[in-house]
Structure formats: C-alpha cells, structure tokens
Amino acid sequence: MMRALVALIGRDLKLAFRRGGETLMPLFFLFAVIILVPLGVGPEPNLLASLAPGMIWIAALLSALLALDGLFRSDYEDGSLEQWLLSPWPLAVLAATRLFSHWIITGIPVIIVSPLAAQMLYLPAEALPVLVLSLLLGTPILSLLGGLAASLTLGTNRGSVMLSILVFPLFVPVLIFATGAVSAAADGMDPGADLGLLSALLVLALTLVPIGTAAALRLNLE
C-alpha cells in the first residue's frame, strides 16, 4: 500500500513540476503581496509589522486555492477516479494522499520562504517561530478543506464559482486563529490559545475530511 501511495505522490509532483507554474505560483503570490501592500499603505515599519501576519497568511490562502478546481477534475474526466474505486485501497486514503500532494506543492514553498518574507515586513524576530508553526499547522487544513470543497463541486458545470463560495467561509477560522497567534507573539503575549485551537482544527480536519472527501467522490461517480 505504501508503494502505491508514494507512487501517487510522485506522479502528482512530477506533473506539477512539468507545468512549472504550480510550483512557482505560491511564491509569486507571497512576494506580490509583500511588494504591493507596502506601496498602498506606506513603508512605515511598525505598520508593516502589524500587517505582516495577515499579509503572509493571505498569500498562503491564495496559494491553497491554486489548482483546487482541477484537484480531482482531470481524474474524474479521464476515468482515473473510477479506477480508484476499483483499487484495493480505501478511497479515503487515496483522497488524503492527493491532498497531501497539494499541500507539498502549495504549502511547503510558503512555509520555507515565510521567515524571509516576515523579515522584509519587519515582523519581530520572536514571532518568527510562531509564524512558521502556524503555517505548519494551518496550511494542511487549507488543503484538506479545499479538497473537500473541490470534491463536492466536482460534478457541477461551474465548479470554480461554487468552489470559491464554499471554501472561503471554511478558511476564515484558520485565518483568524493563525494570525491571532502570530500577532500575540509579536506583541509579547502567549500565543498558546490560538495555536491550540489551530491544532484542534488540524486534528479534526485530518480525521473527518478524508472520509467526507471520499464520500463526495463516490457520490459523483455513482
């Protein structure tokens, strides 16, 4: 089973690297936000430091939206999802593996570059570990919830529109808790409460979302 899952991840990563744009777009969103927002609000360091958690997390959110509409659609259209149903492996495990690939492509680049982005925005050094930790906890939730929404809209003609309507309300709690934790650390306060809630959301998403995604995929194939 592990060989099959590793092969599925490897296939997804190869396709992403061949297209090129999917691997670079998260970084493009991040640096576009970092460059454009100071042009609009001004270069004052204290102001940028207060905005830094929200700016970096908005870039992470936009990155998570990348390729969500096509997350399962190409497999749905070419019949690969039907082979998933016929495979000996649980559909929930295969769906979770696809969402893990999406997180590697869209979440990991933002996590790696986030300390540099935070320093460019004058975020206090003591808040950097909390920023990275919030991204490690929160970006998988974005991929999981985005995948669930993508599976629910798979059979609709205007899936991208419905996907946006579904996914943004789901992302709001993650955005609130993550930015709250980073802002608290930057102000010298304890970010434990927000990080604890973010961890609880991650555990809940890891437990329920693959099952819900598998059920939605099966419903679209029947």
With 0-12 / 13-18 / 19 or more C-beta atoms within 10 angstroms meaning exposed / middle / buried, residue 101 is buried
How do the domains of the chain map onto residue ranges?
2-221
Whole-number Å distance between alpha carbons of 110 and 75: 27
- What span, in angstroms and rounded, lies between the C-alpha atoms of 138 and 181? 11
pLDDT tens digits along 63-117: 888 778 778 888 888 878 888 888 888 899 999 999 999 899 888 989 999 999 8
Q: Does residue 154 surpass a pLDDT of 90?
A: no
pLDDT bin (cut points 50, 70, 90) of residue 40 is confident
CA–CA gap between residue 156 and residue 105 (Å, rounded): 25
**Residue found under tokens 């090129």:** 20
pLDDT for 22: 59
Cα(205)–Cα(222) distance, rounded to whole angstroms?
A: 25
Q: Count other Cβ atoms within 10 Å, centred on residue 38.
A: 17
- What pTM did the predictor assign? 0.90
45 vs 165: CA distance, rounded Å: 35
What pLDDT, in 10s, does the model give residues 174-219? Answer: 999 999 999 999 998 999 999 999 999 999 999 999 999 999 988 8
d(CA 52, CA 121): 6
DSSP 8-state assignment for residue 145: H
Query: Which of 98, 95, 68 has the alpha carbon at shortest distance from 160?
Result: 68
Nearest partner of 59 among 41, 84, 92, 36, judged by Cα: 36
